[in-house]
Amino acid sequence: MAKSMRRSHDGAFKARVALEAVKGEKTMAQLSSEYGVHPNQIRQWRQRLLDELPDVFSDRRQKQESEGEEMTSELYRQIGQLKVELEWVKKKSQQLQLNRKKR
C-alpha cells in the first residue's frame, strides 16, 4: 500500500484556478478535471480570493506591512544588542577564570 503524497501548489496556480472559478465560465467539476484539483479545494481558494480581494486596495494592508517591517527591524536591533552583551559576558568570564588561576 503506497502512501499518498500531498501536492503543494504555488500561489500563481492557486490564483489562476480561483480566478477561473470566480469568472464562472466553467463549472467546478470542469475546473477540477482540467486542473486536477478537488472541487472543494477550488471552492476554498475561490472563497479566500473573494475574502481577501478588498484588502488589496485598502490602506490597512499597507499599515500592516509597515508595522511588520518596524517590528522586524526592532527585533533585529534587539538581537544585535544581545549578541554584543553575550560577547561581553563571555570576555569577562574568561578574564575572571584567568584571574582565579593566577591566585
Cα–Cα dist 76/97, whole Å: 32
As a whole number, mean pLDDT of residues 52-80 equals 85
Residue scoring higher pLDDT (6 or 93): 93
Nearest to 41 by CA among 50, 56, 31: 31
**According to the model, what pLDDT value does residue 98 have?**
79
Residue 1 reports pLDDT greater than 80: no
Predicted confidence at residue 56, as pLDDT, reads 77
72-77: long-range contacts, CB 8 A cutoff, minimum separation 24: none
Percentage, residues of the chain above pLDDT 90: 64
Predicted confidence (pLDDT) at residue 3 exceeds the cutoff of 70: no
Asked whether residue 64 carries a pLDDT value surpassing 80, the answer given is: no
- Convert 1-24 into a string of H (helix), E (strand) and C (coil): CCCCCCCCCCHHHHHHHHHHHHHC
pLDDT at 61: 67
pLDDT at 68 over 60: yes
d(Cα 46, Cα 38) in Å, to the nearest integer? Answer: 13
All cell numbers assigned to 59:
490602506
Helical ranges in 5-102 per DSSP H: 11-23, 28-35, 39-56, 59-102
